[in-house]
Amino acid sequence: MKNKTSFETRRSLLKAAAAAAVAPAFMLSPAIASTYPPSTVSMMVPYPAGGPSDTAARILAVPVGEVLGAHVVVENVGGATGTIAASRVLTAKADGSIFFQGTQNELIIPPLTNKAVRFQPDAFENLLPISFTPIVLLVRADLPVNTMEEFFEYARKQDESSSLTYGSVGVGSLYHLITDYMGRRMDIPFTHVPYTGTAPVVQALIGQQIDFSLMPFQASMLEMVKGGRFKALAVASPTKPAVLEHLPSISTLPQLADFDFASYAGYFVKKGTPTEIKEKLNHAIGSALLDDEIVSRLEAEGRMMLKPMTLAEAAKAYESEVARYRELIRVTGYTQDE
């Protein structure tokens, strides 16, 4: 019997709670109901404008604001693998006036690996997981390879002084960690070049300043591939959307049979935010995810959208992700001192 991928297991969990997702079960206390939300609520995005995270935020901001009854403003704060933006949320009051659009890349991996990060994953509470985004292996247009197998064969021929360079959204990021993990598993040295977000990595790849990157997929990448700006060789997970079915999964290589990684996004608030406020935000975001037009726009960007769920199920899903990456970090032994 075939084992479920980690994504399929998580998706099953989310589906189980879908029916209860946006039921009007929340009852706000009179005091909170009369003061929340304020006229403007901030949606914090931990990367510069123009990347896939920013695109999703701007698609969701308007419908979430309509249900919430407030103007939702997208704030872009890049740098330090998203931890600058995360820290800004944590220095604000736990009153729902600011919520965070994040993934394991900002909220789980950095605090578990970098001693300089001053918060732990449990400093945040999950309002609602929203999407699964595949990660794709992209290489510069003039790299003399056209398949995943050719890529690894070419990379293996390089020594440490001429090793292939790869870009990521920051030191200690998900994309840095899994690329380093991939290289170690294949016994191939790679050289890391960190950037502040996805858009700068794409530009560096187009400008042939780096050799390759494992990056969260967005639909515009396919047009860039067709235009010869770079090549797409593989997907980092067995589960993938129809638009990527033509690409092999990295896990088809015997040496990487268990390689299964993707960007798992959701919305979060500072721990201690009142339950009534969290329920209202959960309801507003969940309602937007039941809008077929909104879902279609997000899926057109390459995401696989998840069904809405309750706060209790969101908390369990987040706990599961934290445990998954604690184990990955334990196995790889990856840490940062600063």
**Domain stops at, among 203, 228, 256:** 256
Tokens of 133: 């985004």
Q: Give yes or no: residues 129 and 271 share one domain.
A: yes
Tell me what the mean pLDDT of segment 330-334 comes to: 80
Domain assignment present for 207: yes
Percentage, residues of the chain above pLDDT 70: 89
pLDDT digits (tens, 9 = 90+) for 82-126: 999 999 999 999 999 999 999 998 999 999 999 899 999 999 999
Least Cα distance to 318 among 62, 113, 14, 52 occurs for 14
Averaged pLDDT of the chain = 89
- Whether the bond into 37 is cis, omega within 30 of 0: yes
Strand partners, 214: 137
Question: Quick check: 43 and 75 in contact, CB under 8 A?
Answer: yes
243 and 320 assigned to the same domain: no
Select from 256, 272, 298 the last residue of a domain.
256
The answer to whether position 281 is within a domain reads yes
Query: Could you tell me if 108 and 123 are in contact, meaning their C-beta atoms sit under 8 angstroms apart?
Result: no
Domain check: are 281 and 183 in the same one? no
Q: At residue 63, does pLDDT exceed 70?
A: yes
- Please name the residue that has the structure tokens 């003039």: 142
Task: Check which CATH number belongs to the domain holding 187 and give it.
Answer: 3.40.190.10
Q: Domain for residue 45, yes or no?
A: yes
Separation of alpha carbons 178 and 260, rounded Å? 10
- Specify the pLDDT at position 171: 81
pLDDT at 90: 98
* Residue 79 zone, left/alpha/beta (φ > 0; ψ -120 to 50; rest): left
Residues 215 and 198 sit within 8 Å (Cβ to Cβ)? yes
Compute the C-alpha angle 83/180/320, nearest 5°. 55
Q: What is the domain extent for residue 141?
A: 134-256
C-alpha dihedral, 304 to 197 to 185 to 325, nearest 10°? -60
Q: What is the pLDDT of residues 131-158, one digit of tens each?
A: 988 999 999 999 999 999 999 999 999 9
Where among 200, 227, 256 does a domain terminate? 256
Burial code of 293-303, b = ≥16 C-beta within 10 A, e = fewer? ebbeebbebbb
Residue type, 107: L
> Does pLDDT of 163 surpass 50?
yes
- In single-letter form, the type of residue at position 78 comes to G
Residues 191, 76, single domain; the answer is no
How far, CA to CA in Å, does 194 sit from each of 122, 174, 213, 303?
26, 12, 11, 24
3-state secondary structure 275-303: HHHHHHHHHHHHHHCCCHHHHHHHHHCCC
Q: Which residues pair with 100 in a beta bridge?
A: 44, 268
How many domains, in total, are found in the chain? 2
Same domain, 128 and 158: no
Residue 95, domain CATH: 3.40.190.150
Q: Are residues 12 and 128 in the same domain?
A: yes
**Residue 337 forms part of a structural domain:** no
Tell me: do 211 and 68 sit in the same domain: no
Q: For residue 336, give the DSSP letter.
A: B
Confidence of residue 54 (pLDDT cuts 50, 70, 90): very high
Residue 268 placed within a domain:
yes
Verify that 121 and 173 share a domain, yes or no.
no
DSSP codes joined into one string, 105-167:
HHHTHHHHHBTT----GGGEEEEEEEEEEEEEEEEETTSS--SHHHHHHHHHT--GGGPEEEE
Amino acid residing at 181: Y
24 — pLDDT class (breaks 50, 70, 90): very low
* Residues 179, 301, 312: CA angle, nearest 5 degrees: 80
| Inside any domain, residue 1 | no
Task: List the one residue out of 175, 166, 183, 138 whose CA is nearest residue 53.
Answer: 175
Angle between helices 6-16 and 311-332 (to 10 degrees): 170
Amino acid letter for position 318: Y
